[in-house]
Amino acid sequence: MSVHTDVKRLTIPQLQAMKGEQKIVSLTSYTAPFARILDEVCDFILIGDSTAMVGYDMPDTLSITVDMMANHAKAVVNATQRSAVVVDMPFGSFQESPEAAFRHAAKMLQISGADSVKLEGGVVLADTTRFLVDRGIPVLAHVGLMPQYFNTMGGFKAQGLSDEAAERIYEDALAQEAAGAWGIVIEGTAEPLARRITDAVKIPTIGIGASPDCDGQVLVAEDIFNLTHGRIPKFAQQFSDVAAAIREGATAYADSVRDGSFPTLNHCFGVKK
Ligand code: KIV
């Protein structure tokens, strides 16, 4: 049986066509309840490998696997109709060779039905991007602060602070565009680098801690809903307090259970009069 809905999911070419016309809005999501709501406002939803830290309390993004990412992406695809869905290629799934990258990307798209993968890498991973794109897998590139380099960076650090470092990131972005990436996430870079990249490339740039002048913005949803233990990164802002709403609901539930006002017989099955 096929499922038909009137709502059409945004396609990757439609996202690309938004450059210069309107800002592209994206947030991360890892689960169906969140994704269902974000679908109403986002142009694309990213199943970031930040799932590792935000959803599993891991210290960095390195330990999340292809299967975990694919299953989170499946939940998001199932719960959404409108937003395009992009899934991150986790550490170890694409760096070894273009063939390994294709195998893992294809598996994630087959399991989840997502529209595109995202991969961290510039010049060094350009051949991999080309390999995937030529075989039908859209790639969103990610340059600048690449969290999968956590160990070589010695933590999460702003990038492109010197002229030389900025130039390398600029070259990374150009290499990914030339390799066929449909867009570029630019994370944690010193301005005016992201503005310069945005002006130089024909594909959309999606900033996170990069520049207001990027073609779009992405943030980790939990960071803006106060779901990260109050630690809001410098580049984010609290837009609502979901933690407070959950705490209020949980407290009301606990109070009702303890004082015996919940459940009532109305919540029970087959009650005999
Ligand atoms: O993993 C992630 O959430 C990301 C960011 C760009 C939001 O890669």
Q: Which two tokens stand for residue 256?
A: 């009702």
User: Which residue lies with its CA nearest to atom 3 of ligand 1?
Assistant: 48
pLDDT in tens, 63-87: 999 999 999 999 999 999 999 999 9
Atom of ligand 1 nearest to the CA of 48: 1
CB of 208 closer than 6 angstroms to any ligand 1 atom: yes
- In the prediction, which pLDDT does 158 show? 93
Domain ranges of the chain: 12-240
Give 110-129 pLDDT, tens digit per residue.
999 999 999 999 999 999 99
- The fold of the 12-240 domain, in CATH, is TIM Barrel (3.20.20)
Q: Tell me the pairing of strands 44-47 and 84-88.
A: parallel
Single-letter residue type at 253? Y
- Mind listing the pLDDT tens digit for each residue in 176-188? 999 999 999 999 9
Q: What is the mean pLDDT of the chain?
A: 96
Active site residue 177: no
pTM for this predicted structure: 0.95
**Pocket flag, ligand 1, residue 116 (CB < 6 Å):** no
Using a 6 Å cutoff on CB, does residue 89 contact ligand 1? no
32 Cβ partners below 8 Å, 6+ apart? Answer: 75, 76, 78, 79
Q: How far is the CA of 199 from the centre of ligand 1 (A)?
A: 23
